[in-house]
Structure 1
Amino acid sequence: MYSTLEKKYKLIQKELTIGTIALGGVFLIGTLWYRFVENWSWEDAAYMTVITLATVGYGETHPLGSRGRLFTIALILLGVVNIGYIVNRFTEAVIQGYFQEGIRLRQQRRLMESLLEHYIICGFSRTGRQIAKEFWAEGVPFVVIDSEVESVQKAQGEGYMAYQGDATLDDTLLRVGIERAICIVAALPSDAENLYTVLSAKTLNPAIRAIARASTEEALQKLQRGGADAVISPYITGGKRMAAAALRPQVMDFVDGILTGADRQLYMEEFLLDPAFCPFVGQTLQKAKLRSQTGGLILAIRRIDGNLIGGPTGETVLMPGDTLICMGTAEQLRSLNQILGPIRSQKLRKPKSS
Structure 2
Amino acid sequence: MYSTLEQKYQRIQKELMAGALALAGVFLIGTLWYALVEGWSWQDAAYMTIITLATVGYGETRPLGDRGRLFTIALILMGVITIGYIVNRFTEAIIQGYFQEGIRLRQLRRAMESLSGHYIICGFSRTGRQIAIEFQAEGVCFVVIDSDVESVRKAQEQGYTIYQGDATLDETLIRVGVERAICIVAALPSDAENLYIVLSAKYLNPGIRAIARASTEEALQKLQRAGADAVISPYITGGKRMAAAALRPQVMDFVDGIISGTDRQLYMEEFLLDPKVCPVVGMTLGQARLRAQTGALILAVRRNDGTLIGGPTPDTVFMPADVLIAMGTPEQLRTLNQLLGPIGSKQLRRPKKI
TM interval, shorter chain, is over 0.9
> Displacement of 1:59 after TM fit?
2.1
| Matching of residue 151 in structure 1 with residue 148 in structure 2 | no
Q: TM-score scaled by structure 2?
A: 0.93
Partner of 1:116: 116
For 1:24 and 1:140, the matched residues in 2 are separated by: 51
For 2:345 and 2:236, the matched residues in 1 are separated by: 35
- Which deviates more, 341-350 or 168-177? 341-350
> Displacement of 1:342 after TM fit?
6.0
> Displacement of 1:346 after TM fit?
5.5
Partner of 2:321: 321
Partner of 1:309: 309
Partner of 1:188: 188
Is the alpha carbon distance of 1:238 and 1:270 closer, same or farther for their aligned partners in structure 2, counting shifts above 3 Å? same
The answer on whether the counterparts of 1:272 and 1:343 sit within 8 Å (CA) in structure 2 is no
> Displacement of 1:149 after TM fit?
1.6
The answer on whether the counterparts of 1:113 and 1:177 sit within 8 Å (CA) in structure 2 is yes
Is the alpha carbon distance of 1:284 and 1:345 closer, same or farther for their aligned partners in structure 2, counting shifts above 3 Å? closer
SS of alignment partner, residue 269 of structure 1: strand
Alignment of 1:7-86 (within 5 A): 7-86=7-86
Alignment of 1:176-325 (within 5 A): 176-261=176-261, 264-325=264-325
> Size of the alignment, in residue pairs?
352
Unaligned runs of 5+ in 1: none
The answer on whether the counterparts of 1:186 and 1:211 sit within 8 Å (CA) in structure 2 is yes
For 2:254 and 2:190, the matched residues in 1 are separated by: 33
The answer on whether the counterparts of 1:214 and 1:234 sit within 8 Å (CA) in structure 2 is yes
> Displacement of 1:122 after TM fit?
0.3
Counterpart of 1:185, as a letter, is: V
For 1:351 and 1:144, the matched residues in 2 are separated by: 22
Q: TM-score scaled by structure 1?
A: 0.93
The answer on whether the counterparts of 1:213 and 1:233 sit within 8 Å (CA) in structure 2 is yes
For 2:207 and 2:107, the matched residues in 1 are separated by: 28
Percent identity, aligned pairs only?
Answer: 81
The answer on whether the counterparts of 1:139 and 1:352 sit within 8 Å (CA) in structure 2 is no
Counterpart of 2:183, as a letter, is: C
For 1:351 and 1:57, the matched residues in 2 are separated by: 75
SS of alignment partner, residue 210 of structure 1: strand
For 1:341 and 1:348, the matched residues in 2 are separated by: 10
Counterpart of 1:313, as a letter, is: T
Partner of 2:92: 92
Counterpart of 1:15, as a letter, is: E
- Which deviates more, 111-120 or 9-18? 9-18
